[in-house]
Chains A and B, each alone.
Chain A
Amino acid sequence: MDAAGILQILIYIVLITALTPLLGGYMAKVFEGRSRFLGWFERPLYRLCGIDAAREQHWSGYALSLLAFNLIGALVLFGLQRLQGMLPLNPAEMAAVPPDLAFNTAVSFMTNTNWQSYGGESTMSYLTQMVGLTVQNFVSAATGVAVAVALIRGFARTSARTVGNFYVDLVRTTLYILLPLSFLAALFLVWQGMPQNFDTYTAATTLEGASQVIAQGPVASQVAIKQIGSNGGGFFNVKSAHPFENPSPLSNLVEMVFILMLAAALTNTFGRMVKDQRQGWAIFAAMGLMFLVGLGVATWAEAQANPALVAAGMDPLMGNMEGKEVRFGIANSAIWATATTAASNGSVNAMHDSFMPLGGLVPMINMLLGEVIFGGVGAGLYGMLIFVIVAVFIAGLMVGRTPEYLGKKIEAREVKLAMLAVLIFPLGVLVLGAASLLGAPASVQDGGPHGLSEVLYAFTSATANNGSAFAGWTGNTLLNNTLQGIAMLLGRFVVIIPVLAIAGAVAAKKTVPPSAGTFPTHGWLFVALLVSVILVVGGLTFFPVLALGPIVEQLMLGAGTLF
């Protein structure tokens, strides 16, 4: 790793840290209702939809509205894919998407996973991309933010019955945050070279006289929200590795900042809304620490050249360039891979399947720890607060006191709900992954331990609602589309519903003032405890399978064994 690489990493970290209080403060204003400059536009929307914006919901009503909205959104997306052959804006004449793939894709975009069993430019019409996928990019992100905000309100309120109004949170996230940011971002990206048109695919005759068909489309408008909303589903098959989806080093920096920007800022929004910004920074610190360790390992691993290729006569200087683009090189590919899996973004600018064994281990661990290292917009914060509950519970056991967080007593009900959300993870990854390995072994591309890594990565990505892939693995089969769809639904809603139940439970509690026996949750001791809890839970659950995949692969690569 050269000095330029290290400098680029530093620039990235400084940008994310600087944006956190700025955006975090703005979002706190939006969700506390102190910023209402779009009120004139909001009010008619609520009236049109028959929503009383002033009426707040009990957590169960909030959850019901969320489920109804998501269900209908997924059905619309499913229908659009099935009917796209008969609908307009389809210059490349894409046929109807098969039912299992359409199910997988509808679930995938509705759950903010954006796993893609298809290649965008070879499967989806412009209409499906724009009216179907782009819309879910917005609303699945807004759904995640809404849940996080409901949970924050739960901690911020005292003896309250309600946690907010789902539709108001959904609309405000979309109007005040996602839409304006995406509009500006899309124009910046077009300036850098991203297409935005409805043209038929361009037929070019190359300099050597061959014909080349170049896919086009309304790319920038979708890519902007795909990055900002931690969605990650590419317009094209290779997502942000495609030169049209990430044309330059500048577009790459901006897209990388988008990956973590809102998720990081929400820690600050949280701090402000519970009236103690130190609480937000403690969570930011825990996330940041784990992020830096992963980034260090990934950058180091990818700077190594494949020893087998070096032995065949390749120059080792550039590092592991298989599946990477020249304009990004090692540093930018490693930052991106770490960020996109720390956040549940899942877009890629390099092919993770071709990473060195330990380089590919970092994205896997980021996801296996529960997508709480910044995590998805909203999802990262509420996922982290689940671990906070587990951490204060453990701290309480150690000193023999009822655990408290932000003045709320954490009791059996909250801990049980938190554990439910934690335990759904190994079910999705290990049980469904094993079912796929038994039922569809032919989907695995590579031999040896790397083959196991491919399946493990796929089900980790689905359950964690990430969406990136070891893309040599074939997801587009009836069995895998179905299993992946189930994993994505479990990983999304068996977390969201317990989180909302926790929000309702803590909202109803009295806030007790801190006493001499209160364990402070804003210092380094708490940060260390929180990180340890996350590592122990993830480590105990997944170390055996990681040992059989990437860790053994690293040893075999060193020994020169190929498959």
Chain B
Amino acid sequence: MLKELRPALSMVVVLTVLTGIAYPLAVTGVAKAVFPWQAQGSLIEKDGHVIGSELIGQSFSAPAYFWGRPSATSGADPHDPTKTGSVPYNAANSSGSNLGPTSKALVEGGGSAIAALRSAHPDHKGPVPADLVTASASGLDPHISPVAAQYQVNRIAVARHAPVEAVRTLVARHTEGRALGVLGEPRVNVLRLNLALDEALPIK
């Protein structure tokens, strides 16, 4: 057994240097040179301050902004850091709800999301789009479906004293189709859309 140790130990060292140091550093070097913005996390700046990442959803609750999906992430309670509580869109602690389909908590949570959406959108009488009712896998989903964006258009128009058509046009412009016409699902990036909203139809 002892004579097995030398090759084993030196091989662990050699492969660690190769795959654990040389390889990630080489990837970092090339990535930063060729795709610097992506390598840094696709950060969006406004007036010199980082306001978020294009890929990471953030929490929106004001009536004048499009809302993203429910998020099940948690974090330190802002009032009492020794406790953890619900902190939606905590980008340092990704998580889904992990509730199973027969879970009472899932159905009650969905029910209260539906009630809140209905009272905020009195113009809609029909069923609520599923992605606005269900928590995403990461808790950081940056997207909503085009249907979920259209669902919110009237509320935004009222809150911004803007014509409904103008809001609708912005949503259409920010709707991404399937990649290469077939991959993934059509979607709207909520942060990008809200930024465009602030630019085109500022809150008066």
Contacts and interface: CB of A to CB of B under 8 A. Distances in A.
Interface in A175-206: 178-179, 182-183, 186-187, 190-199, 201-206
A68 B100 contact: no
Interface residues of B, number: 103
B98 A309 contact: no
Contact of A326 (B27, B58, B103, B187): B187
Given A68-B1, A207-B60, A325-B137, A305 B98 contact: no
A449 interface: yes
Given A195-B41, A305-B130, A183 B26 contact: yes
Contacts of B143: 325-327
Interface string B11-37: 110111011110110111011101100
B28 A135 contact: no
Contacts of B8: 65, 68-69, 71-72
A250 interface: yes
Interface string B44-62: 0000011111111111111
B184 A252 contact: yes
Given A49-B14, A325-B141, A332-B184, A315 B128 contact: yes
Contact of A187 (B31, B184, B195): B31
B164 to A, nearest CB: 21
Nearest to A142: B15
Contact of B110 (A137, A242, A312, A319): A312
A243 B12 contact: no
Given A187-B31, A190-B35, A472-B98, A213 B91 contact: yes
A238 B139 contact: yes
A556 interface: yes
Contacts of A237: 93-95
Nearest to B29: A196
Given A51-B7, A202-B41, A353-B99, A208 B111 contact: no
Contact of A323 (B14, B18, B135): B135
Most A-side CB within 10 Å, residue of B31, B53, B100 = B100
Nearest to A309: B110
Nearest to A41: B18
Interface string B77-111: 00000000000011111111111111110110011
A131 interface: yes
Interface in A38-53: 45, 48-51
A318 B102 contact: no
Nearest to B28: A196
B43 interface: yes
Interface string A66-100: 00110111001000000000000000100000000
A197 B35 CA distance: 11
Interface of A: 4, 7-8, 11, 45, 48-51, 64-65, 68-69, 71-73, 76, 92, 119, 121-122, 130-132, 134-135, 137-139, 167, 170-171, 174, 178-179, 182-183, 186-187, 190-199, 201-208, 210, 212-216, 218, 220-222, 224-225, 236-238, 241-244, 247-250, 252-253, 305-306, 308-310, 312-329, 332, 348-351, 353-357, 360, 445-450, 453-454, 470-472, 553, 556-557, 561-563
Given A236-B94, A321-B131, A322-B97, 5 more contacts: A76-B16, A241-B136, A315-B147, A323-B135, A327-B141
Rank and list the top 8 A-B pairs by shortest CB-CB distance, nearest first: A249-B184, A241-B137, A472-B98, A450-B100, A329-B185, A68-B8, A315-B127, A249-B183
